[in-house]
Amino acid sequence: MGVVLLWPTDVPNDLVLPRVDADAVFGEEQVERAERFESFRYVLWVLSQIALFGTLWAYTRRGAAFTRESSAGPIGTGMLLGMLGLAIVWLVALPFRIVGHWWSRRYDLSDAGYLEWLLEDWTLLGAQFLSLCLALLIVMGLARKLGDRWWLPGAAVFVAIAAAFTFLAPYIDYTTDPLEDEGLLAAAREYETELGLDEVPIHVQEVSDRTELANAYAYGFGPTKRVVFWDTILMAPFDDAEQRSVLAHELAHHSQDHLPEGIGWFAIFAVPGAFVLMLATKGRGGMGAPEAIPLALLVVAVVQLVSAPASNVITRRMEEEADWKALEVTRDPDALEGVMVDLSETSLSDPNPPGWVHLMTGTHPTPEDRVAMARVWADRDASREAPS
Amino acid sequence: MAVAQPEQRPIRLVMNDDLERNRLTVFFRLILAIPHLIWVMLWGIAAAVVAFVLWLAVLINGQAPTGLHDFVAGYLRYATHVGGYLFLAASPYPGFRGRPGYPIDLEIDPPQRQSRWTGFFRLLLALPALVLAATLGGGLFLGGSSGGSWGSAGGDGASATGAAISFTGTAAAAAFLAWFAILARGRSPRGLRDLVAFALSYSAQAGGYLFLLTGRYPTSDPTLAEKWAELPEHPVRMVVDDDLGRPRLTVLFRVLLAIPHFVWLLLWSVAVFFAAIAAWFAALVTGRVPTALHRFLAAYVRYSTHVLAYVFVIGRKFPGFTGRAGSYGIDLEIAPPERQSRWRILFRILLAIPALILNSALSGVALIVGVLGWWYALVTGRMSEGLRNLGAACLRYSAQTSAFVFLLTDRYPYAAPVLRGKAPAGPEQHPPHAYYAPPPPAQDAS
């Protein structure tokens, strides 16, 4: 039922994307450079996944021994085991991440020094520790109260937390400042009217001191809707028309309710996911027992990996829809194509990644597909206007 | 906790101080000490140069020549006298030759054979001890860089040009507080005197190790202070029942693993703020803190001690979240509520200021213990017993301060950095401490 409600988008069902000559659009040299850059990262991704699952498997076998290092009772001990598992995974992944950072620096995608980068990583790890502790507190608390029936209320609690976090995130975020570009703000008001939105605050996040990557995102929902530009996208090579195209894309996420829909999709995944977790950990005393936590981490990682293709299909559909709506309000397919070309230059994204990469990690349509969509929209628009 | 008996160290502090002080000399102490400060600086430069020769001698012969050893030992002894005088741990004006017999004195063994390897890397090896000595602040700081102690006189014979003297660390905080107390009472508070003496003792060991008077690494174990220090009965007592093993993984991520505790501590602190106000009003009216509030505040003090012990690697295990008594290896015993003086309740925050000042200095020591202990445990998989016990002693003072502030007791925190000590004796039974009074038998710190 939920899938039926959430699946449809405003992208025409009969849309067939033509093949695009990537070399012609992005430039042969640029495509080669992006492929070289990305192919190394694909290998790194595969190796890090192998290391991740190997580590979690070993931790599943040995991790319970760390219960001796706790005086904190079952739930506190579970938290310790969860955090240690995360710490080990972080430690094992660190060499891959360092190599990845070295690779990004080599291609001038990052200016951050290794120490600065590592300190940021520690901060992130701290935040992950805290989130994990909160999750374990809820799951273990419910499991100790309800036994094997924890998974249904557990999933509901997580959906509620996801919704609360999505709603409150703009209030928590202190890293952005309101956009001051009058031209873009005027465009935003125009697009909001066309998309049927109330005024959405547009903010800027300063990242240019540490990265060359360009990005923008939409978050919050209802009264907390917000769009954030990385300041890198407000600089060359992105011109005004391209910035407006990005703006329209992000506003379209709000007009199409993609964030609440995302929560709906999360609910659809969370319920069976929690059920699988309950079943898998039953043999180790269930989620109420700290000894089950190492196994639970492995199960969560497997569930995430297995569900990645499906979840990527969903996010790709949302991105396609946002692109389509952006084309309708900007009526500027060249700008979208320009954004893709510039992104390929600044972020070195592979215009047409291998199928398995797209399947496992492709949260967005490929740059090639997005250019193709812009061209299809242009053709349709031309044919709509032709009779008049 | 069974604390090992202190073994004979090659550099030992001996105490023959009766706590009596002359108010006039105390009032002008800093000015009176100026000639000594100049002399200790000049002698320090000479000692640093001689220490370099000692270093060469140890590298060649594996042993320091007696004459040079005695010269540097004389400097170390003299600097201890000056430190004791300046920091109000002793009363008489010290002589300028560093001769034995001063109330705060050093005994230094004759030169022994030393490892050439540890001699070669002495400056590097001494760094952690020097950092701790600087935090304890028992030494006179010679040298241009920040933090330091005896040993910062340019290192192994390196130049001590631009030498300056400054007074930093816990000993300075203790002396600052003792100055007021002595002017008021004509007597030094024993806990503060013992704290300064401990700092001097550790700094002397660190200096002696750096200057190659000995190859024995300094120990920060509070057993050093047990020869002269007392630990009076107190409603808040530290119980150490923890082993020294530290799994490296839990050490590496220690601060991050404590994050849920930090969050919980923060939330609990908000409730404690209001509970403490309620306890203050209730105690002011009834003369005692209601049992429920006392239990709540005691659990908080105990829990914060558990968390700090974990973060500073003083404790091994991940602590619980409830502050339950007996649930952690570094624990507190807190006596039930008792009647308290209403005057002392009324002015509690004002009365607590000196303790809070000293607690702040001792927290710095605990932090350094945590940093050094972290490295030590990461390399060896164990915590140094000396660091662990010193950290526990600092936490004991911190817990007693919190207990005083939160009205769990009206007994003032006791400053001496010991986990156990001689039973207190009345003044008439308590003559000036004999050198090396027999230490008390091993017993549980509880």
Q: What is the ipTM of this complex?
A: 0.78
Q: Which of B239, B250, B256, B262 to mutate to test the interface with A (most CBs of A within 10 A)?
A: B256
- Residues counted in chain B: 446
**pLDDT score for A107:** 86
Best-predicted range by mean pLDDT (B236-245, B303-312, B318-327): B303-312
Expressed in angstroms, the distance from the first to the final Cα of chain A is: 43
State mean pLDDT over B110-128. Answer: 92
The pLDDT score that the predictor gives to residue A373 is 87
Among partner residues A70, A126, A130, which is closest to B317 by beta-carbon distance?
A70
With a cut of 60, say whether residue B298 has pLDDT above it. Answer: yes
Contact with chain B for residue A72, Cβ under 8 A: yes
pLDDT at residue B162 is higher than 50? no
> Counting one residue from A and one from B, how many pairs have CB atoms under 8 Å apart?
62
Q: What is the pLDDT of residue B139?
A: 57
| Residue B148 pLDDT greater than 60, yes or no | no
* B247 touching A (Cβ < 8 Å): yes
Res. B165: pLDDT tops 60 = no
Chain A residues closer than 8 Å to B329 by CB: 71
Lowest mean pLDDT among A8-22, A60-74, A186-200: A8-22
Chain A residue numbers with beta carbons less than 8 Å from the beta carbon of B328 are: 71
pLDDT tens digits along B59-103? 999 888 999 999 999 999 999 999 999 999 999 999 998 889 999
Task: Say whether pLDDT at B209 is over 80.
Answer: yes
B306 CB neighbours in chain A (<8 A) are 71
**What's the gap in Å between the CA of B377 and the closest CA on chain A?**
15
Reduced 3-state DSSP string for chain A: CHHHHHCCCCCCCCCCCCCCCHHHHHCHHHHHHHHHHHHHHHHHHHHHHHHHHHHHHHHHHHHHHHHHHECCHHHHHHHHHHHHHHHHHHHHHHHHHHHHHHHHHHCCCECCCHHHHHHHHHHHHHHHHHHHHHHHHHHHHHHHHHHHHHHHHHHHHHHHHHHHHHHHHHHHCCCEEECCCHHHHHHHHHHHHHHCCCCCCEEEECCCCCECCCCEEEECCHHHCEEEEEHHHHCCCCCHHHHHHHHHHHHHHHHCCHHHHHHHHHHHHHHHHHHHHHHHHHHHCCCCCHHHHHHHHHHHHHHHHHHHHHHHHHHHHHHHHHHHHHHHHHCCHHHHHHHHHHHHHHCCCCCCCCHHHHHHHCCCCCHHHHHHHHHHHHHHHHHHHCCC
Highest-pLDDT range among A205-209, A312-316, B269-273, B440-444: B269-273
Model confidence at B431: pLDDT above 60: no
Does residue B441 register a pLDDT over 50? Answer: no
B404 to chain A nearest CA, in Å? 27
For chain B, the structural domain boundaries read 11-227, 236-405
Residue B94, preceding peptide bond in cis (omega within 30° of 0): no
**What does DSSP assign to residue B245?**
B
Amino acid sitting at position B440: P
Residue B257: C-alpha distances to residues A86, B309, B319, B368, B383 (Å): 10, 13, 11, 19, 18
Whether A83 sits inside 8 A of B247 (CB atoms) is no
- State which residue of chain A sits closest to B247, comparing Cα positions: A69
Q: Mark which residues 268-307 of B lie under 8 Å from A by CB.
A: 306
User: What residues of chain B lie within 8 A of the CB of A72, using their CB?
Assistant: 317-321
* Sheet bearing A176-178, strands edge to edge: A176-178, A202-205, A226-230, A216-219
> Which of A5-14, A139-148, B105-114 bottoms out in mean pLDDT, i.e. has the lowest?
A5-14
Identify the pLDDT of residue A387. Answer: 58
- Residue A125: list chain B partners with CB under 8 A: 256
Exposed e or buried b for every residue in A198-221, given b needs 16+ CB within 10 A? eebebbbbebbeebbbbbbebbbb
* Binary contact (B259, A71; C-beta < 8 A): no
Q: Would you say residue B168 has pLDDT above 60?
A: no
Tell me the nearest-neighbour CA distance from A319 into chain B, angstroms. 36
Whether chain B has a CB inside 8 Å of the CB on A133: the answer is: yes
* pLDDT band (50, 70, 90) for residue B425: low
Closest listed residue to residue A247, CA positions, set A329, A366, A346, A365: A329
